[in-house]
A and B are shown apart, each in its own frame.
Chain A
Amino acid sequence: GAVVSQHPSWVICKSGTSVKIECRSLDFQATTMFWYRQFPKQSLMLMATSNEGSKATYEQGVEKDKFLINHASLTLSTLTVTSAHPEDSSFYICSAPSRTGGSYEQYFGPGTRLTVT
């Protein structure tokens, strides 16, 4: 199946700094990628949809100026958490759809654990 990677797998940063997380589709192209956030013992919540060549669309309640998304190419989307605070500590996961036969399946990255101190 298709493979999605994320980098880094974990990161610790100080409050007030910015952190960039990369999401790559390794063996397929993705004009759309999705960013999710998952807090401990909770389910995945969609944050935003990353669109290659155009602006990202954000879910209600997600600050677009805080979570900057850039879909630089058909295989790379980046999420930058600006001026991170401890409440931004979470597990960030990206996904990308890949067409298999007549249907799409979502392939997920392994996730990035962000800890803000």
Chain B
Amino acid sequence: DAKTTQPPSMDCAEGRAANLPCNHSTISGNEYVYWYRQIHSQGPQYIIHGLKNNETNEMASLIITEDRKSSTLILPHATLRDTAVYYCIVRGSSGSARQLTFGSGTQLTVLP
């Protein structure tokens, strides 16, 4: 699985969009980009994943650059409950049930 690089921390004002970047310059053609988050003292929660097209669900949007070397997770209207560590993970085929490898993630703090 390709390595990812994320900023260690970010702040965001409540109600504003939170844009969390992730670099994955060594990603290969069949690898997906997954995002999970972990609220303090809880298990990680799946947010979204994508291959090359932008994706949107009820939680967030995922924007993947055309060269697929980076992506951005967008929380359109951040709330205090979105304060968490966000993990960007690159892994092979979404059809695989393999384990996830977690990096250090980004601590997002939503400020009132």
Contact = CB atoms under 8 A, between A and B. Distances in A.
B78 to A, nearest CB: 22
Interface string B86-112: 010000001111111111110000000
A67 interface: no
Interface residues of A, number: 27
Contact of A109 (B36, B43, B97, B104): B43
Interface of A is mostly: strand
Contacts of A99: 97
A93 B44 contact: yes
B30 interface: no
Interface string A87-117: 0000101010101001111111111010000
Interface of A: 1, 4, 6, 32, 34, 36, 43-46, 49, 91, 93, 95, 97, 99, 102-111, 113
